Structures are given as structure tokens and as C-alpha cells.
A and B are shown apart, each in its own frame.
Chain A
């Protein structure tokens, strides 16, 4: 599988480490009233779709960046690759 890195171009998936659902970035706010429930969902409940899935990959044998890869879990087709840092910065701005 080839991952088209936004900074480095197409790189072999062997260079990456898979972490899982990209929703891990969206850590709940511990000051919220229902923080317990939110953390329970955040830690234990995962979607496991057959189809497109946003997931975190770490470029360990490359530039050590975290990527959000939108991958079809049935066909391994990769639709989109973005830097997790960019996603996080964009999210912080919109808050």
C-alpha cells in the first residue's frame, strides 16, 4: 500500500505505524458536565466501518509526522491524506 504523504510524496506503508481511528484527536473536555460519558465513548467505543475510515498513521521511518489517512477498509483505496497537525490547528481556530 502506498500512502501519498503531503510533504514527502508517495511512500511505502512499511515506513508507517498504524494507530487507529482518527477520532482519538478529538479528546473530550474534562470540564464538561458529562465528561465521564464522553471519555467512556472516546476510550472504548469505536466505529468499525466496511468502507471509508479516517485513521491515524505515524511516519516512523520517515519524517515522524502524524497523518490522517482516509482509507477504504475493504479495498485499501486511499482517498485523502492530511497532516494531523494541520487538522488540529484548523480545529483550534474554529473553537
Chain B
């Protein structure tokens, strides 16, 4: 039997960086699970979610938060959601199935994404240089979520407050993604 345990490593590993008016935090310790709705099972799944999380599933392009495990539901495309939540186990799908009892199709994506939390007065100035979305607060409102690209890298972005966003990008290109954001920050400082 092996006498060592594996130690989890964050995708980028910078923890927190503060530039002049922009703060970056690498979010770790969260589980990311994609949820697909089985054919003709939307109502049952929605019911189960309402019973456990006390929310209705968001419409496409919106996100919702729930108290249970600090969960955040992102509606990304028809019948496809991401659930991001606090989880200390290595088995996020089992955790979800405690409440949702296999009403949806789940796929653990926790190790496939890096999550960067960007905030501060200059956040919009940083993001609008590299992101084609219209980020004005009356178009991309608080709670909105969208997939898009930054410097040709796929990104899922969620607006948390007027000047705070969560950015998810594939782990395999996370260093390039981080580099793109830092370069944009340096360009406006």
C-alpha cells in the first residue's frame, strides 16, 4: 500500500494579488459540477432543487445563489447548468445526490477549471479590453452569466457586483488566461 497522500494543487497558485485598483483572488476549494436536465424531467428536477435550495432554476444567462453549501447555479445553455459550491469531500456528485437524488445528469468538473475573482474600481476597464461582451451594468447586470472569450481563451463570467466578477477558464490554459488579465491590468495602470 502506498504510504503517501496526494496534495491538491491550485491551477495557477497565486492566491491573491492586489494591483492599484484591482484585486485578483484565485478561488480554490470549490466544487464545480455540470448538470444536464434529463429529457422530460425538468419539472421534477426543479421541484427537488426548490425543496432543497429554496430557489427556482435561473433562466439562460442568469445565475442564482442558495444558502445550502453556498451554492451558485449558472444557467449557461438550454438544459445545461453549472453548480459551484463549497465541498470538503472528494466526491461532489455524491454530495449533490444527497439532495437531488439523481434527478439530473451530473459531471464533476472541479479539476478542469480555474476560478479568478476580480474586483475593484478599475475592473471594467481591465475586462473591456479583452472581452467582447457589453459589460455596462444595465446590459450585463448583477447575477448575469455568460460564456465568452478573452484573448481566444474560453471564459465563463458571472457578475457579482457592479465591479466584481467571477471568471472561470479551463485549467489547461489557466496560466495564459492569468497572463492575459495581468497584462490588461498593467496596460491601464
A: which residues have CB within 8 A of B? Answer: 7-12, 14-15, 61-65, 85
**Choice from A8, A14, A63 contacting B132 with Cβ under 8 Å:** A14
**Choice from B61, B149, B154 contacting A8 with Cβ under 8 Å:** B61
**Choice from A11, A12, A15, A65 contacting B78 with Cβ under 8 Å:** A65
B: which residues have CB within 8 A of A? Answer: 60-61, 76-78, 80, 132-134, 139, 146-149, 154
Q: Are A14 and B149 in contact (CB under 8 A)?
A: yes
Q: Are B149 and A63 in contact (CB under 8 A)?
A: no
**How far apart are A13's CB and chain B's nearest CB, in angstroms?**
9
A15 to B149, CA, bound (A): 7
Q: Are A10 and B134 in contact (CB under 8 A)?
A: yes
Residue of A nearest to B150 (CB): A61
Q: Are B146 and A8 in contact (CB under 8 A)?
A: yes
Residues of B within 8 A of A64 (CB): 77
Among all A-B residue pairs, the 3 with the closest Cβ atoms:
A12-B132, A63-B77, A61-B149
Q: Are A15 and B132 in contact (CB under 8 A)?
A: yes
Residues of A within 8 A of B61 (CB): 7-9
Residue of B nearest to A13 (CB): B132
A19 to B78, CA, bound (A): 21
A86 to B21, CA, bound (A): 45
Residues of A within 8 A of B77 (CB): 62-65
Answer whether A63 and B60 are a contact pair too, CB < 8 Å, given A10-B134, A11-B132, A12-B132.
yes
Residue of B nearest to A83 (CB): B78
A8 to B78, CA, bound (A): 11
